[in-house]
Structure 1
Amino acid sequence: MKKLKMKNKHIKRMVISLALILSIGLYSYMQQNRIQIKEGLIEASSVDGEEVNNQYKLLLESLFDYRNKALLEKNEDMLKELYETDKKFGLWAYEHEVKKMKYLENWSNKQGVKFNDIKTKVKVKKIKQKEDDLYGIICTVSTEYKYSYENQKDVINMFRIGTYHYLNVKIRDNQYIITKEWYTDPFADSLNLENIKSEDIRNYILQQQPVKLELTPEQVKAVNYAHQYCGAAANEEYGLKFNSNYKDYNPDGGDCANFASQIMFESGRFKKTDTWNYNKEGTKAWVNAQAFKNHIIYSGRGSLIAKGTYQDVYKEAYNLRPGDFVAYEKGGRITHVSTVTGLDSKGYPLVTCHNTDRLLVPWDLGWSDKKIRFHIIQVHY
Structure 2
Amino acid sequence: MKLKFINIILITLLIFNIIPISICLALEDESNSSKVDYSSDEVKKEFKDLLENLFAQRNAAIVSADTELLKGFYDLDIKVSLWAYESEAKKTQYLINWSEKQAVKFKDIKSIVRIRKVAEKEPNLYGVICDVATDFNYYYIDSPETINHFRLGTNHYLNLKKQEDKYIITKEWYTDPFADSLELKNLKSEEIKEYILNQNSPEYTPSEKIQNAIDYAHKYCGVSEDEEFTFKYNSNYKDHNPDGGDCANFASQILFEGGEFKKNSAWNYAGKAGTKAWLNAQGFKNYMVNSGRASYIAKGSYEQIYKAAFNMRPGDFVAYEKKGRITHVSTVTGFDSKGYPLVTCHNTNRLLVPYDLGWSNDNIKFHLIHVHY
Indicate the residue corresponding to 1:92 in structure 2: 83
Cα deviations across residues 72-131 of structure 1 (Å, max 9, x unaligned)? 112233210001111111011101111111111111111111110000000000001101
TM-score normalised over the length of structure 2:
0.88
Q: Does residue 230 of structure 1 match 2:221?
A: yes
- The one-letter code sitting in structure 1 at the alignment partner of 2:169 is I
Q: Whole-Å Cα distance in 2 between the matches of residues 151 and 352 of structure 1?
A: 26
> 2:224–2:230: 8 Å Cα contact kept in structure 1?
no
Q: Pick one of 235, 239, 250 that aligns with 1:244.
A: 235
**How far apart, CA to CA, are the structure 1 residues paired with 2:99 and 2:304?**
19
Partners of 1:168 and 1:127 lie apart in 2 by 10
Partner of residue 304 from structure 1, selected from 296, 304, 307: 296
User: Match of 1:338?
Assistant: 330
2:161–2:170 Cα contact (<8 Å) kept: yes
| TM-superposition CA deviations, 1:307-332 (whole Å, max 9, x none) | 11000000111111111000000111
Q: 2:317 aligns with which of 316, 325, 338?
A: 325
**Percent identity (aligned):** 60
Matched-pair contact (CA < 8 Å) for 1:106–1:194: no
| Structure-2 residue corresponding to 1:32 | none
Query: Is the contact between residue 107 and residue 193 of structure 1 (CA under 8 Å) also seen in structure 2?
Result: yes
1:102 maps to 93
Distance 1:168 1:232 in 2: 24
Query: Do residues 156 (structure 1) and 175 (structure 2) align?
Result: no
Residue 262 of structure 1: CA displacement? 0.1
Flag the structure with larger Rg. 1
Q: How many pairs are equivalent? A: 334
User: Secondary structure in 2 aligned to 1:260?
Assistant: helix
Rounded Cα–Cα distance in structure 2 between residues aligned with 1:355 and 1:235 = 19
- Scaled by the length of structure 1, the TM-score of the pair is 0.86
Query: 1:214: how far off?
Result: 1.3
Are 1:198 and 2:217 an aligned pair? no
CA distance in 2, matches of 1:175, 1:61: 14
User: Would you say the 8 A contact 1:140–1:232 is kept in 2?
Assistant: no
Deviation of residue 152 (structure 1)? 1.2
Equivalent residue number for residue 362 of structure 1: 354
Structure 2, unmatched stretches of 5+, are 1-38
SS at match of 1:153: coil
Question: How many Å separate the matches in 1 of 2:67 and 2:282?
Answer: 39
2:369 maps to 377
Question: 2:163 maps to what in 1?
Answer: 172
Q: What secondary structure sits across from 1:103 in the alignment?
A: helix
Aligned equivalents of 2:202 and 2:302: distance in 1? 21
1:132 maps to 2:94? no
Alpha carbons 1:285, 1:295 under 8 Å: kept: yes
SS in structure 2 of the partner of residue 71 of structure 1: helix
